[in-house]
Amino acid sequence: MNLKRLIPATLAVFITFQVTDFLIHSLILASSYAALQELWRPDMMSKMWIMTLTSLFMSFMFVFIFIKGYEKKGICEGFRFGIIIGLFMSVTAMLNQYVVYPVPFSMVIQWLIYGLIQFILAGIVVSLIYKPKA
């Protein structure tokens, strides 16, 4: 494991998740969330630091798992890894959210699709950073 690539890759994946989370949840889905205002915690914003920490942890684990199976196949490997982890994380998490919270199934599908896109982008990012020296 190469720490000189692990740390920058983790930070890049973290930034990818943060930027895409903002685009998805603050811009694209904002009106959908406003219609479901009664479901969200009134003090949610005071707890957002927890989501930031879990996103940083998830970014590290994403990169760590990628490194453990690293095959030096470039962007295609990152894309494939993003799909695999994205399906694993998004399908299970979003369908479980549907069971627990009274959200429309259409929102669950959006969460699933956007989550899969996020993981694919993260896979591409990690494959671009964690690559052998030319």
φ, ψ for residue 47, nearest 5 deg: -110, 5
Q: Which of 77, 70, 68, 55 is nearest to 10 (CA)?
A: 55
CA 70 to chain centre: 19
| DSSP designation for 26 | I
pLDDT tens for each residue of the chain, 134 residues long:
788 889 999 999 999 999 999 999 999 999 999 888 888 888 888 999 999 999 999 999 999 999 999 898 999 999 999 999 999 999 999 999 999 999 999 999 999 999 999 999 999 999 999 876 66
pTM: 0.91
* pLDDT (0 to 100) of residue 56: 97
Two tokens, residue 13: 């994946």
